[in-house]
Chains A and B, each alone.
Chain A
Amino acid sequence: MSIGYYPGCTLKTKARNLEDSALACLRALGIEATELPRWNCCGAVFSLADDDLIHQVAPVRDLIRARDEGHDRLTTLCSMCYNTLARANLLMRDDEEKRKTLNLFMDEETDYAGEVEVQHYLDLLRTDVGWDKLRATVKKPLEGLRIAGYYGCTLVRPREITVAPTLFNDFLAALGAEVVDFPESTVCCSSYQILSAEGAALEASAKVLRGATTHKIDALAMSCPVCEYNLGKRQADVRAKFQDVGEIPTFYFTQLLAVALGLPLEDLGLKQNEKSSEELLRARNLIAAA
């Protein structure tokens, strides 16, 4: 059966580099995932109130779109979208009363009961390519590059939707990198708090980056545009406030995958990253000199 692809609002603009590199890699690996023809914003966060069902309509409609296209799986890149879609899916699967109410409310849609499986792209690589095959397909192993996977929150919490605990590590190992595991890999970057509590947000991001500094990590690989914003784009602000935080280039994991697969520069989208990311790859001869 087929795989649907849900981009989410951020990937078409601010995180274009995540989408472009991801889709180029799917083509290179021979995996077909079709973007849903009609999708809406998933809401970014999963509604936590028991008496609130209206905010479940958005993610559920996206799942219905996937089902209507005949897909048995829906893959996504943004960790926040993954979290929201996966939890909404479990709600429709497990909560009979809420499923009934939501299906009755969405009277133009055919009833949905969680038939589609939500699978994050990293896990898709595990099941549909496999680490051994991926390792064999790598053209430019990320040798000598000390990289840590930054899982963040929404890929691993709550437990019901968590990806496998070593998923990122296994992925990076298959790319030939020197995989570093650091305790702050699942510590929150502060997410949307950068909007309203900048001080506390930068402090939270500092904890993550300080951990990366202490463990002498060359680069962080991540899967969420908000994490990339807090830890990448705003890293200069973090470092201005906290002198013990070193400069740590940040990448979307798909950009590293594209480098390892030897894909052309235009597929990497490095212009949207901080300068340090492209500089690191050039310094390690992983992309051609300028």
Chain B
Amino acid sequence: MAIKVSLKTLRGPLARKVREMSGEDPNMCFQCGLCAGSCPMTGEMEIYTRKVMHMLQLGQADAVLAQRMAYLCASCHTCQVRCPRGIDIPKVVEALRLITLRAGENFLAPEAIPKDRLKEMPQAAIVAGLRKFTG
């Protein structure tokens, strides 16, 4: 599969948007994979943080935004405290979520949560989930 890499893709609008929203530069990542190795939510992710950083570096806007992985992040910050480049990875992932959420596309419909679970769940979990998954 051929990937076109040029200054245009490296400095493209998605990379710029992510940098503005997160204050972090994905180009700082040197692909060590420590983040993905530390992530507690890899269970259902199609790809992990490391690859997402690489895709951002290569300007693969549509492919990155199509990933569900940003919505599987639990904001645990394990990757953030361990990244040897000091990249605030949760902020990068939040930026990816927000780009889609702000375009009006919610990831989770509140009605989709089973009513009996909603009744028993702590409010903190519901508030946090709706903050992360809806615009």
Which residues of A are at the interface with B, using a C-beta cutoff of 8 A? 8-10, 13-15, 41, 43-45, 48-52, 55, 78, 80-81, 153, 157-159, 186-188, 190-197, 199-200, 203-204, 207, 224-226, 228-229, 233
Query: How many of chain B's residues touch chain A, expressed as a range?
Result: 35 or more
A45 to B128, Cβ gap below 8 A?
A: yes
- Indicate if B113 sits at the interface (CB-CB under 8 A): yes
- Indicate if B98 sits at the interface (CB-CB under 8 A): yes
B43 to A204, Cβ gap below 8 A?
A: yes
Q: Which residues on the A side are within 8 Å of B127 (C-beta)?
A: 9, 41, 43-45
Residue of A nearest to B45 (CB): A200
Known A-B contacts A195-B108, A196-B108, A197-B72; the reply to A78 vs B80 at CB < 8 A is no
Per DSSP, chain B at the interface is: helix
The distance in angstroms between the C-alpha atoms of A161 and B129, with both chains bound, is: 22
The distance in angstroms between the C-alpha atoms of A49 and B100, with both chains bound, is: 13
Q: Which residues on the B side are within 8 Å of A15 (C-beta)?
A: 122
10 contacts across the A-B interface (CB closer than 8 A) = A10-B122, A48-B90, A48-B91, A49-B94, A157-B76, A191-B125, A192-B125, A193-B72, A199-B43, A226-B125
Known A-B contacts A44-B131, A48-B22, A195-B108; the reply to A14 vs B74 at CB < 8 A is no
Q: Which residues on the B side are within 8 Å of A207 (C-beta)?
A: 40
Known A-B contacts A50-B22, A51-B20, A196-B107; the reply to A80 vs B124 at CB < 8 A is yes
